[in-house]
Chain A
């Protein structure tokens, strides 16, 4: 369960609408990979880092797509930002999620990857977290869905789909597609 989705185990959701199919998701990943290559000419190494938990599989797919078309080497990592959140007392670490940055980010370009960009607080935490591993040359951000409602001055470099939502909705991103779920009531 990705915090940025505004999802809640205390709330019930009903399926409202499918906004992207599995094929759309694949096509978007391929498109983003091409944009990344285009924007990173002359890059020595790109470190693709998925944010736990929703960004991890997207980072994997993106990294695979990049390995086929990129002229520079790509490494894959993951980041759990729980320890960096400003609302940590309200959230536990996600069980069994982990941080793994297998290569040095010093002087390299880092591509942060998440499923949904919402308030921007996860990305803020991720920026702080990744800087703990060294000073990258640049940090870029790729998200499958930008759903708006930003609370911080953060903007993505690569967006799969801009999706206007209300705060009470939840956006779910999987390999099978993207769905908007509407809240139907508070279960707790």
Chain B
């Protein structure tokens, strides 16, 4: 039976620990002179992106390449979707071509789950609407863990996720994963950009960045996803920035040991100033470089090469 990674809730605690351990194995591989291993030689990984992406698609493609898999790239603009081919037919075509695994991004929440129910090969969710982006959460967790040398858990670490939580799949995956690992998560933003019912989320909520800032170890900023706004949720970006952008002054009121993270793309001057993005406290570029190793771990793990099933072999 194949497994897919659609949501953080697909993973057991043991799976999460395995993926973290495996990620570190691939960080070591990526530090070598020749950062490439033959582990997935002969496998084909297809990237199926219905939405624009820079780092996620490149990161998955680089991860697959470094595992010696072959990569098929689907881009919406040049595909037959423009001729009216359905999502199901497109996905089934890619499976029929011989892809062994599909990495998929789509603007609709739930679409990756739906496609995985039609296919016999594993899928990795690279972001579906405002639902989830599990590999982003995995790479964020491992980045925080390694920075604070926290071992296998994030107990006691205070994380503030700031900005447009409403449209953020990154926030949804991170809230689940970071809180399962023991971190305490606070969502910060104007009421209009926070989901209305947060009673079931394992989080605290605040509308004041100034109050939360001095307490947190991780300052996690989100991009304002203007392209998803169906109505006017706030007066202007300038209005948002005035209260919620991380500026040099504000960062000065946070702990000296606090780190700044962002899933990208960053919009300098809106949620973060250029000075903060490039400051020594910023781990934004570390997140990107860790992303490759984490995605190598996910691909390798989904191909079943690492399930911890020692008893079934030899």
User: What is A's interface to B at a CB cutoff of 8 Å?
Assistant: 1, 3, 6-10, 80, 82-84, 88-93, 95-96, 98-100, 106, 128-129, 131-134, 188
Interface centre among A3, A10, A132 (most CB of B within 10 A): A132
A128 neighbours in B (Cβ, 8 Å): 38
Total residues of chain B contacting the partner, CB 8 A:
26
Give the dominant DSSP class at A's interface: loop
B39 neighbours in A (Cβ, 8 Å): 82-84, 88
Q: Which residue of A lies closest to B296 (CB)?
A: A83
Is the pair B314, A98 in contact by a Cβ cutoff of 8 Å? no
Give the dominant DSSP class at B's interface: loop
Select which of B21, B22, B34, B313 is within 8 A of A90 by beta carbon: B313
Q: Which residue of A lies closest to B22 (CB)?
A: A93
Select which of A9, A82, A84 is within 8 A of B310 by beta carbon: A9
Is the pair B37, A83 in contact by a Cβ cutoff of 8 Å? yes
Is the pair B314, A132 in contact by a Cβ cutoff of 8 Å? no
How far is B99's CA from A55's CA once the two chains are assembled, in angstroms?
A: 38
**Given A84-B37, A134-B33, residue A8 in contact with residue B314 (CB < 8 A):** yes
Is the pair B305, A92 in contact by a Cβ cutoff of 8 Å? yes
5 closest A-B pairs by CB? A83-B37, A8-B314, A83-B39, A132-B34, A92-B306
**Given A9-B311, A83-B39, residue A99 in contact with residue B21 (CB < 8 A):** no
How far is B313's CA from A1's CA once the two chains are assembled, in angstroms?
A: 12
CB distance from A7 to the nearest CB of B (A): 6
Which B residues between 21 and 54 are near A, CB-CB below 8 angstroms? 21-22, 25, 28-29, 32-39
Select which of A80, A131, A188 is within 8 A of B311 by beta carbon: A188
Q: Which residue of A lies closest to B307 (CB)?
A: A92
Q: Is B195 an interface residue (CB 8 A)?
A: no
Is the pair A83, B38 in contact by a Cβ cutoff of 8 Å? yes
CB distance from A129 to the nearest CB of B (A): 8
Select which of B33, B38, B310 is within 8 A of A92 by beta carbon: B310
Q: Is B107 an interface residue (CB 8 A)?
A: no
**Given A83-B37, A132-B37, residue A89 in contact with residue B21 (CB < 8 A):** no
CB distance from A86 to the nearest CB of B (A): 8
Q: Is B182 an interface residue (CB 8 A)?
A: no
Is the pair A93, B32 in contact by a Cβ cutoff of 8 Å? no
Is the pair B38, A84 in contact by a Cβ cutoff of 8 Å? yes
CB distance from A32 to the nearest CB of B (A): 28
Q: Is B228 an interface residue (CB 8 A)?
A: no
How far is B22's CA from A106's CA once the two chains are assembled, in angstroms?
A: 27
Q: Is B304 an interface residue (CB 8 A)?
A: yes
Is the pair B25, A93 in contact by a Cβ cutoff of 8 Å? yes
Is the pair B309, A92 in contact by a Cβ cutoff of 8 Å? yes
Q: Which residue of B lies closest to A132 (CB)?
A: B34
5 example contacts (A-B, Cβ-Cβ < 8 A) are as follows: A7-B314, A8-B314, A10-B313, A82-B39, A83-B37
Q: Is B303 an interface residue (CB 8 A)?
A: yes
Q: Which residue of A lies closest to B67 (CB)?
A: A83
The 0/1 profile, CB within 8 Å of A marked 1, for residues 189-220 of chain B is 00000000000000000000000000000000
Is the pair B314, A10 in contact by a Cβ cutoff of 8 Å? yes
